[in-house]
Amino acid sequence: MIVIMNSSATPADLQAVLQRVSEHNLTGQVTQGEHCDIVGIIGSGITNDLGSELESMSGVDRTVRISQPYKLASRAFHPQRTIVQVGNVAIGGDEIVVIAGPCSVESETQIVETARIVQAAGATLLRGGAYKPRTSPYAFRGMGVKGLELLALARAATGLPVVTEVMTPQDVEVVASYADMLQIGARNMQNYYLLEEAGRSGKPVMIKRGLSATIEEWLLSAEYVLAQGNPNVVLCERGIRTFETATRNTLDLNAVAYAKRLSHLPVLADPSHGTGKWHLVTPLSLASIAAGADGLILEVHPDPDRALSDGAQSLNPHNFQRLMNQLATIAPALSRTLGTVAMLEGLPTHAKIA
Ligand code: PEP
Ligand code: MN
């Protein structure tokens, strides 16, 4: 349920509503609507009677039941878009944010070299897996803590904030001590203890959509993190399983556009995993941005043929640079910007691409 305050409600009116909500053993979260405050109520046992009770209070305009099972993640609860700050990068604003790097961290040279290459081409965040969820137990499963240390070295060399996957609740502490944003992988989207632990880490959390998850299930996973009091959640569409076998997955652009409408959270697209083929990454990246994605996460490797994981879908430096040039060309047509360090309100404004 949300409580919409009227425009003349006083701070005391708002406090009284929050107090009444807590007397019902429910939680109230205040967000700023366009013209007034909105109180989102979460918890079990929300009734129509509670709605009538709150509507009789001073400063309350009306109450609205939220029909979706996710609440904090929904637009109704939080009408304005959420901007998630990761280091010096704002995800969810006018800037198209590009996160790039190898599927896996493989060595110091590989990750530092890749970080420099993607930064020079305009990426503002570095990706790289240290803990890898692999279909086969015999495949390369990541360097673990050593990989995290190498990511920190690459960050120190370039200043790029780092995004990396965490696979178990027990690893959240160590991964969060290195990462600027935690990645919840597609296979773990419904690992609810992991989501809660990631939420409690205080770090921004990027949640990849599960291979067979509905949009509603994906938003409910975001709800698990938000319910821990962590507002910094980023959604990532990375392709779903369909009948098609020509491509690794089917990048669901419906989900990109629909998640933007249903939720205030930033939505990224991952055309690397979404297609599985490097030559499809550029067209699907352009399409993702046209569909409204706030940015992209892309696999880039200095020598894709030798990558220890996901080489077939990794862009080489040349093709990554070409993609970035094409994004810069389409950005103004979509009233977006690219390639500058994004800043939140109050700080220097984004430079428009001419
Ligand atoms: C990855 O980002 O390398 C990865 C394993 O992603 P996903 O969880 O989407 O498969
Ligand atoms: Mn990968």
pLDDT tens sequence across 293-343: 999 999 999 999 999 999 999 999 999 999 999 999 999 999 999 864 333
> Taking residues 95-120, what's their average pLDDT?
98
> Taking residues 101-105, what's their average pLDDT?
98
Task: Say how far apart CA 148 and CA 182 lie, in whole Å.
Answer: 12
Ligand 1, atom 4, residue with closest C-alpha: 185
Share of the chain above pLDDT 70, in %: 95
200, 228 Cβ separation under 8 angstroms: yes
Could you tell me the distance, in angstroms and rounded to a whole number, from the CA of residue 128 to the centre of ligand 2?
9
φ/ψ of 129, rounded to 5, equals -90, 135
Same domain, 57 and 188: no
Q: How far apart are the first and last CA of the chain?
A: 45
Q: The dihedral of CA 13, 15, 16, 18: what is its sign? A: positive
Q: What is the pLDDT of residue 67?
A: 86
Q: 35 or 244, which is more confident? A: 244
126 located within any domain: yes
125, 321 Cβ separation under 8 angstroms: no
**pTM of this prediction exceeds 0.85:** yes
Same domain, 43 and 93: no
Could you tell me the distance, in angstroms and rounded to a whole number, from the CA of residue 144 to the centre of ligand 1?
16
Q: What is the pLDDT of residue 121?
A: 95
Q: Which residues pair with 104 in a beta bridge?
A: 129
Q: 126 or 342, which is more confident? A: 126
Three-class SS state of 321: helix
Same domain, 132 and 273: yes
Q: What is the pLDDT of residue 339?
A: 63
Same domain, 56 and 136: no
Same domain, 31 and 170: no
Ligand 1, atom 2, residue with closest C-alpha: 103
Could you tell me the distance, in angstroms and rounded to a whole number, from the CA of residue 18 to the centre of ligand 2?
45
343 located within any domain: no
Same domain, 6 and 147: no
Q: What is the pLDDT of residue 131?
A: 98
147 located within any domain: yes
- Among residues 64, 97, 113, the one where a domain terminates is 64
Q: Which of 103, 236, 309 to mutate to test the pocket of ligand 1 (most atoms within 8 A of CB)?
A: 103
Same domain, 53 and 95: no
Residue with the two structure tokens 């910007």: 337
Task: Say how far apart CA 84 and CA 295 lie, in whole Å.
Answer: 12
In the chain, the largest separation of any two C-alpha atoms, in whole Å, equals: 67
349 located within any domain: no
Same domain, 113 and 55: no
Ligand 1 atom nearest to CA at 209 = 9
Same domain, 49 and 102: no
Which CATH number belongs to the domain containing residue 44 in this structure? 3.30.70.1140
Local structure of residue 349 (DSSP, 8 states):
P
Q: What is the pLDDT of residues 185-226, one digit of tens each?
A: 999 999 999 999 999 999 999 999 999 999 999 999 999 999
96 located within any domain: yes
Ligand 1 atom nearest to CA at 310 = 3
> Taking residues 46-51, what's their average pLDDT?
92
Verify whether ligand 1 is closer than 6 Å to residue 276 (CB atom).
no
Q: What is the pLDDT of residue 181?
A: 98
Verify whether ligand 1 is closer than 6 Å to residue 273 (CB atom).
yes
Verify whether ligand 1 is closer than 6 Å to residue 238 (CB atom).
yes
Q: What is the pLDDT of residue 32?
A: 82
Could you tell me the distance, in angstroms and rounded to a whole number, from the CA of residue 315 to the centre of ligand 2?
12
Ligand 1, atom 6, residue with closest C-alpha: 185
User: Measuring CA to CA, how many Å separate 216 from each of 74, 226, 230?
Assistant: 10, 15, 19
Same domain, 126 and 10: no
77 located within any domain: no
CA-based R_g, the chain, Å: 21
Q: Is residue 349 scored above 50 in pLDDT? A: no
Q: For the chain, how many helices (H) and strands (E)?
A: 11, 15
Q: What is the pLDDT of residue 45?
A: 84
> Taking residues 104-114, what's their average pLDDT?
98
Q: The dihedral of CA 195, 199, 203, 209: what is its sign? A: positive
- How many residues are there in the chain? 354
Which CATH number belongs to the domain containing residue 170 in this structure? 3.20.20.70
Q: What is the pLDDT of residues 237-286, one digit of tens each?
A: 999 999 999 999 999 999 999 999 999 999 999 999 999 999 999 999 99
Local structure of residue 212 (DSSP, 8 states):
T
The number of distinct structural domains making up the chain is 2
Verify whether ligand 1 is closer than 6 Å to residue 103 (CB atom).
yes
34 located within any domain: yes
Same domain, 146 and 29: no
Could you tell me the distance, in angstroms and rounded to a whole number, from the CA of residue 193 to the centre of ligand 1?
19
Three-class SS state of 223: helix
Verify whether ligand 1 is closer than 6 Å to residue 186 (CB atom).
yes
Same domain, 327 and 280: yes
Q: Which residues pair with 129 in a beta bridge?
A: 104
286 located within any domain: yes
User: Which residues constitute the domain of residue 250?
Assistant: 84-338
Local structure of residue 18 (DSSP, 8 states):
H
